[in-house]
Amino acid sequence: MSSSWRNKDGSPRRPQAVFLDRDGVINRDSPDYVTAWSQFRFLPGSLAAITALTAADIPVIVVTNQSAVARGLIRPETLTDMHRRLNRIVRHNGGRIQAILHCPHHPDDGCGCRKPQPGMLIEAQTRYGLDLKQTIMIGDRASDIACGHGAGCGGTILVRSGPQDARPELARLGIRPDWIVADLAAAVQTILGPQGAPP
């Protein structure tokens, strides 16, 4: 873990919040979009990772691009129900998601909330009084890491559990994540240290 995220005694410093992308981080991504709960598959270790963050009293905020809404592939109420079910299962496993923010717009809409734009993180900052320099963004795509950089997050973690390798695009953009790890469980271990890591 970077020295900037450690206390003077060397222990991990607790961030004010952790931002998580959804598809490719919490659940398996799909090239055809995840448009129904029947298609939602948790990635190994993701539930335990969220539970570990909750146990460490670190708020978890999901920020997810969902252009399938604008494309007419999923109804807004279906997405809301999917997130309700996600929250229920997370709670059943001992975790908590403080908020799930999503961008429903098409990439061509030019909105300020679709990652890599920082709109969702700024909304969370306003809603919860966060200092974004004291937060960490975790995602599997270049847009996630670029969003974290653009918003001024104190740290960014690229996970390699998504369907694409984001490193070439990040290299073209000249953006380097602070850490690159296998999956959300490894990211949480990076944040909490070995003793707070998920089982």
Active site residue ranges: 21, 23
8 A C-beta contact, residue 101 and residue 123: yes
Classify burial at 9, counting beta carbons within 10 Å of its beta carbon; exposed 0-12, middle 13-18, buried 19 or more.
exposed
The tokens for 159 are: 């996970």
DSSP 35-76: -SGGG--BPTTHHHHHHHHHHTT--EEEEEE-TTTTTTSS-H
8 A C-beta contact, residue 19 and residue 138: yes
- Hunting for tokens 């146990």 — which residue is that? 55
Of 119, 161, 118, whose CA–CA distance to 141 is shortest? 161
Helix axes 76-92, 46-55, angle to 10 degrees: 70
